[in-house]
Structure 1
Amino acid sequence: MNVLVTGAAGFIGAALSQALLARGDAVIGIDNCNDYYDPSLKRARLAEIEKAGDKFAFHELDFADMGALTAALEGQRFDAIVHLGAQAGVRYSLENPAAYIHSNIVGHANMLEIARHREIGHMVYASSSSVYGGNDTLPFSVDDRADHPVSLYAATKRADEMLSESYAHLYRIPLTGLRFFTVYGPWGRPDMAMWIFTQRILAGEPIPVFNKGEMWRDFTYIDDIVSGVVAALDAPPKDDGLVKAGGSAKPHALYNIGNHRSEKLMRVIGLLEDACGRKAQIDWQPMQKGDVTRTYADIEAIQRDLGYAPTTSIDDGVPRFVDWYRSYHGL
Structure 2
Amino acid sequence: MQGKKILVTGGTGQVARPVAEALAADNEVWCLGRFGTLGVADELAARGIKTFRWDMDDLGADTLKGLPEDFTHVIHSAVRRGEDGDFTAAVTVNSVAAGRLMTHCRTAEAFLYVSTGAIYARQTLDHLYTETDPIDGKAEWLPAYPVGKIATEGTVRAFGRVLGLPTTVARLNIAYGPGSYGGVPMLYFKRMLAGEPIPVPVEGQNWCSLLYTDDLVRQVPKLWDAATVETTLVNWGGDESVGITDCIRHMQELTGVTAQLVPSKVTRETYQFDPTLRCQLTGPCEIGWRDGIRRTLQVMYPELVQAGSDG
TM-score between both structures, scaled by the size of structure 2: 0.83
Distance 1:285 1:47, change over 3 A: farther
Aligned to 2:130: 141
CA contact (8 A) 2:121 2:134 kept: no
Aligned to 2:224: 233
CA contact (8 A) 1:93 1:100 kept: no
CA contact (8 A) 1:64 1:110 kept: no
Structure 2, unaligned runs of 5 or more: 307-311
Q: Distance in 2 between matches of 1:281 and 1:47?
A: 40
How big is the shift at 1:188?
4.1
1:207-258, CA deviations, whole angstroms, 9 ceiling, x for partnerless residues? 4324347311111111111211121124432xxxxxxxxxxxx431111111
Q: Distance in 1 between matches of 2:200 and 2:53?
A: 36
Q: Distance in 2 between matches of 1:123 and 1:284?
A: 42
Q: Distance in 1 between matches of 2:152 and 2:8?
A: 17
Q: Distance in 2 between matches of 1:193 and 1:78?
A: 32
Distance 1:295 1:86, change over 3 A: same
Q: What is the 5 A alignment of 1:1-331?
A: 1-22=4-25, 24-33=26-35, 39=37, 43=39, 49-52=44-47, 54=48, 56-65=49-58, 66-67=60-61, 69-73=63-67, 75=68, 77-88=70-81, 93=83, 95-97=85-87, 100-116=90-106, 119-136=107-124, 138-146=127-135, 148-151=136-139, 152-189=144-181, 192-203=183-194, 205-212=195-202, 214-237=205-228, 250-282=229-261, 285-288=264-267, 292=269, 294-304=270-280, 306-326=281-301
Structure 1, unaligned runs of 5 or more: 238-249
Distance 1:188 1:58, change over 3 A: same
1:34-75, CA deviations, whole angstroms, 9 ceiling, x for partnerless residues? 5xxxx46xx55x5654444x2x111232134344632241x5
Q: SS at the partner of 1:255?
A: strand
Higher helix share: 1
Paired letter, 1:260: D
Q: Distance in 2 between matches of 1:72 and 1:324?
A: 38
TM-score between both structures, scaled by the size of structure 1: 0.78
How big is the shift at 1:156?
1.8
Distance 1:193 1:8, change over 3 A: closer
Distance 1:221 1:99, change over 3 A: farther
Paired letter, 2:130: S
Paired letter, 1:153: Y
CA contact (8 A) 2:223 2:282 kept: no
How big is the shift at 1:99?
5.5
Aligned residues: 295
Q: Distance in 2 between matches of 1:80 and 1:17?
A: 12
| % identical equivalent positions | 20
Q: Distance in 2 between matches of 1:315 and 1:200?
A: 19
Q: SS at the partner of 1:14?
A: helix
Aligned to 1:245: none
CA contact (8 A) 2:114 2:169 kept: yes
Distance 1:259 1:67, change over 3 A: same
1:91-120, CA deviations, whole angstroms, 9 ceiling, x for partnerless residues? x6474545533542332222233233xx22
CA contact (8 A) 2:91 2:151 kept: no
CA contact (8 A) 1:169 1:251 kept: yes
Paired letter, 2:95: I
